[in-house]
Amino acid sequence: MDQLNFAGRKAAVFGSCDSFYPEFGAAVDTLMNKLQECGADVVLEGLKVELDPVGEDVERCKLFGKDFLKKC
């Protein structure tokens, strides 16, 4: 990604995470940081969901998508 230029682009990151690992959702954090380094405007805090989204997490995912669209 280091060769990519995301200047002027809005971005948001979400992902399935596993609390088994020492740092919950590290990939979401890493990708958010990399997008910012490449010039993207990360408009939402990363959404982290434990494994498969069910119940309330499904609604959180839908709301995340709607919030991202509003920011665009």
Residue 40 is assigned to a structural domain of this protein:
yes
Cα separation, 35 vs 42, in Å, equals 7
* Domain boundaries, position 63: 10-71
In a domain, 34, yes or no: yes
Question: Residue 25 region, left (φ>0) first, then alpha (ψ -120 to 50), else beta?
Answer: left
Q: How many CA atoms, within 13 angstroms, populate the side-chain half-sphere of residue 16?
A: 5
Per-residue confidence (pLDDT) for residue 43, from 0 to 100: 98
**pLDDT per position as a tens digit, 26-35:** 999 999 999 9
pTM: 0.87
What pLDDT is attached to residue 48?
A: 97
Is residue 3 in a domain? no
pLDDT of residue 61: 97
Residues 11-55 pLDDT 10s: 999 999 999 999 999 999 999 999 999 999 999 999 999 999 999
H or E stretch at 9? none
